[in-house]
Amino acid sequence: MTIKIAQPSEEAGAIAVLTLAFSVDPMVRWSLPNSKKYLAAFPLIAKAFGGNAFEGGTAYMGDNFAGVALWLPPGAGSDEESLVRLFDENVSNDVKKDLPGIFEQMEKFRPAEPHWYLPMIGVDPAYQNTGVGSALMKEALKVVDKDGSIAYLESSNPRNISLYERHGFEVIGEIRSGSSPILHPMLRKAR
């Protein structure tokens, strides 16, 4: 599997891969259980959550759009304003009442020191369990390690925790609000 930096012109294809990958994600589907609404809203959410990675040259992609990882370097962030608007427009009132608690907890666990953040990584279901996720992590972590920084993510799918642990991340807590699934914040020390 060859991993390369995704170009801005490849953004639509990369977002499509993430849409496929997150279609069974517990946290995402808790917030967007209606398939029609999910398919309409998730690509916009993915772009807001990690879209700066395309312009910044920190979006990694496997051959044939097999998988995508959107990384944000120290100092870069998600488009919070768009995320708030998209969630407000697309989630049910039951979910809306739990979201502030989730976002507050996410902020508490996020490192205060400069760090690389992985808002999204996903593998096309046709390529899952073939090493694509590992290849994406390995390639991006070369840059993180060269930078001498820590890395941080929140795992929204418990099935993925072992992948992150194999690459040096440790679970540092649990995030949950109301009826939400558990989100696991994970930290990787600088190397």
Question: What are the boundaries of each domain within the chain?
Answer: 3-97+109-146
Beta bridge partners of 155: 184
Please provide the average confidence, as pLDDT, over all residues in the chain.
95
Q: pLDDT tier at 1 (50, 70, 90 boundaries)?
A: confident
Domain spanning 3-97+109-146, CATH architecture? 3-Layer(aba) Sandwich (3.40)
Q: What percent of the chain has pLDDT over 70?
A: 100
Residues 68-103: b if buried by 16+ CB within 10 A, e if exposed: bbbbbbeeeebbeeebeebbeebbeeebeebbeebb
Residues 7-52 have pLDDT tens digits of: 999 999 999 999 999 999 999 999 999 999 999 999 999 999 997 8
Say what the pLDDT of residue 51 is: 72
Angstrom distances, CA of residue 99 to CA of 20, 82, 156, 163: 23, 15, 14, 26
Q: Are 103 and 78 in contact (CB under 8 A)?
A: no
